[in-house]
Amino acid sequence: MPVDTLKTFLDEHDVKYVSIKHSTAFTAQEIAASAHIPGKEMAKTVMLKINGELAMAVLPAPYQVDLDKLQEATGADTVELASEDEFKAHFPDCEVGAMPPFGNLYGMDVFMAATLAEDEQIAFNAGTHTELIQMSFSDYVDLVEPVTLQFALEPA
């Protein structure tokens, strides 16, 4: 089961979390609505290629990645969205598009939008399109050690 890797990791680190089952949903905004969680507390994972290497951008559900800002903030030569074909094999225990924002479990860098720090809780896909994990934001940062940057475009 996809969520087992994540739950095992959280349990091994004595992290308190809540697993929330919800009806099948594919976008972060739909998941937030289905689980009755504010969209800004629902973190979505956007897969990128930074200088040709896969990386995760993590930001609140209603926001978008500003690729130019991220490129400038990282000092990278290139930042582009990764295609599903480029990243799906890196997440064999996850449904495509439901990867949790734990790049450290998959050997990749995580770049987190500073706007996520505005809330005490964070929720995210648990590897499936029917379950999410909610936990403290501080525990997430302690476990993942993401690089926090300004790259999120506010919803229009």
DSSP labels for 18-62?
EEEE-S---SHHHHHHHTT--GGGBEEEEEEEETTEEEEEEEETT
| Residue 83 structural domain | 3-153
- Six token digits for residue 20: 């929330």
Question: What is the CATH classification number for the domain harbouring 48?
Answer: 3.90.960.10
Q: Of the candidates 63, 61, 64, which has an alpha carbon nearest to the alpha carbon of residue 30?
A: 61
CA distance 129 to 34: 11
For residue 2, what pLDDT band results from cuts at 50, 70 and 90?
low
- pLDDT band at residue 156, thresholds of 50, 70 and 90? confident
Reported as a single tens digit per residue, the pLDDT across 45-98 is 999 999 999 999 999 989 999 999 999 999 999 999 999 999 999 999 898 889
Q: How many domains does the chain have?
A: 1
